[in-house]
Amino acid sequence: MSSSTRYLGTLAISTLSILCVVALFNWLVDPYGIVRVISVEGFNRIKSQAGQRAEMYKRNGAERTRPHALILGNSRAEIGFDPKSPAWPASTRPVFNLALPGGGINAALDELSQVLTYTQPKLIVVGLDFLDFRIDPAAPADSPPADVDRLRSWRERLSALLSIDALADSIATIKAQRDPYPSSLDVDGFNPMRDYVGIARREGYSSMFRQRDHENAKSYVLGPKTIYRADHLPTSEFRAVERMIEIAHGAGAQLRFVLYPVHAHTLVLFRQAGLWPAFEAWKRELALRVDGAPPGTDVELWDFSGFSPFAVEDVPPPGDTKREMRWYWEAGHFKSSLGDVVLASLLGSPAVQPRLGRRLSARDLEEHLQSQRLELAEYERTHAREVADLAALVEAARLTPRLVGNRK
């Protein structure tokens, strides 16, 4: 045997051995919670990297759980609605949080369709976000929901065992077990935001609010998206709402649409960026569709987006790293403490008080919108300094070169 053939033999055996060791390591650590062969405190219990492949993690989790109640939506629902909340009636447990960060209503419809292939949930809570319904004038008018093919699913599973990203995530998972504030996803899909606890204690809530307000101002002012378009509304998203209503009707499930309880800062930015009329138009369109549900469908639309005592929670001053906020992480994301209040109001649970929100219907919507306008004006009058700060962010964003539109 020549030295070259010996070399090639050693190369082949050694490469295969390395790949086997990596696969075994990833399988044991299981950073995305797919196999859950072992769960050891201090080794792999906290899945700090699960968010890297949240969709796969949650799909596997939901399939294992076969939940009676389902939470769908984007990151606000993922971190705001805890399946362990006392607000969930016993008959709806187990509950699973299938909300995906950055996932719009079409992604939620995809997830729901997947779940229906193996279980029949009794209750479906869907968080709706105004910002997910806007149209990008540069994009095609309609885009079909993404197909989930079996091949892709197998590829994802293989790459969770045999990929450099999975290896890095396995190492990060082990390291994160000693981190006092690791990011992670619970087995029920809820994101407890432990990493935000660390950031808040290090930098203070003011920094987190400031950063989110800054990003929101830029996004609202510079983004190409708008709910208005001469020819039509964002049809794909509203069609997804209609499709969900049809599914709930067919499955005999309760369907609850929730407009998120964002902080007053976000609402003020909507107004300052000129989005308030679109925000109202969006609610009208939703109410029309829910009111038009087939008879016998148990569907409700709830608005938690007003200027409630929760939404106007004071933000600690800059530099204050001691004071914790009770209801919000920052202006876009509410804590599960507020999520519990929302769920209790929505589900009529006596376990959590007080009550919040309002059920919407096209019949009395205008009156509701008018009262929100008054609340907005009142908030702006009583919080002049904060409103001025937000206005400065919007003005600065307007002076920034546009993010899109000048590409070649």
What residues make contact with other proteins under the rule CB under 8 A?
Answer: 2-8, 10-11, 14-15, 17-19, 22, 155, 158-159, 162-165, 167, 202-203, 207, 210-211, 214-215, 400-401, 403-404, 406-408
Closest CB to other proteins among 214 and 359? 214
Convert 8-43 to b/e letters by CB count within 10 Å (16 or more is b): eeeeeeeeeeeeeebbebbbebbbbbbeeeeeeeee
Q: Measured from the CB atom, is 19 or 374 closer to other proteins?
A: 19
Strand order in the sheet with 299-303: 95-97, 69-72, 123-128, 254-259, 299-303, 358-359
C-alpha torsion angle, residues 88, 288, 142, 230 (rounded to 10): -140
Which residue, 53 or 271, has its beta carbon nearer to other proteins?
53
Q: Which is nearer to other proteins, 163 or 177 (CB)?
A: 163
Tell me the two tokens of residue 322. 């001691």
The distance of Cα 56 from the centroid of its chain, to the nearest Å, equals 15
| Least distance in angstroms from the C-beta of 401 to other proteins | 6
- Residue pair 226/274 in contact by the 8 Å Cβ criterion: no
Nearer to other proteins, 14 or 153 (CB): 14
Instruction: Give the Cα separation of 218 and 161 in Å (integer).
Output: 39
N-term to C-term CA, the chain: 59
Neighbours of 235 (CB within 10 A): 14
For residue 262, the minimal CB distance to other proteins (Å) is 19
How many residues in the chain? 408
Cα angle 143-146-148, degrees, rounded to a multiple of 5? 165
CA diameter of the chain: 89
Q: State the nearest-atom distance from the C-beta of 23 to other proteins, in Å.
A: 10
Residue type, position 318, single letter? P
**Min CB(158)–other proteins separation in Å:** 8
282-304 exposure pattern, b = at least 16 Cβ within 10 A, e = fewer: bbebbbebbeebeeebebbbbbb
152 vs 373, beta carbon nearer other proteins: 152
Q: What is the smallest separation between the CB atom of 221 and other proteins, expressed in angstroms?
A: 13
Pairwise CA distance, residues 188 & 139, whole Å: 35
Nearer CB in complex with other proteins: 186/215: 215
Minimum distance between the CB of residue 208 and other proteins, rounded to whole angstroms?
A: 8
Which of 51, 73 has the CB closer to other proteins?
A: 51
Min separation Cβ 377 and other proteins, Å = 30
Minimum distance from residue 273 beta carbon to other proteins (Å): 18
In this complex, which beta carbon is closest to other proteins, that of residue 215 or of residue 313? 215
Burial of 82 (0-12, 13-18, 19+ CB in 10 A): buried
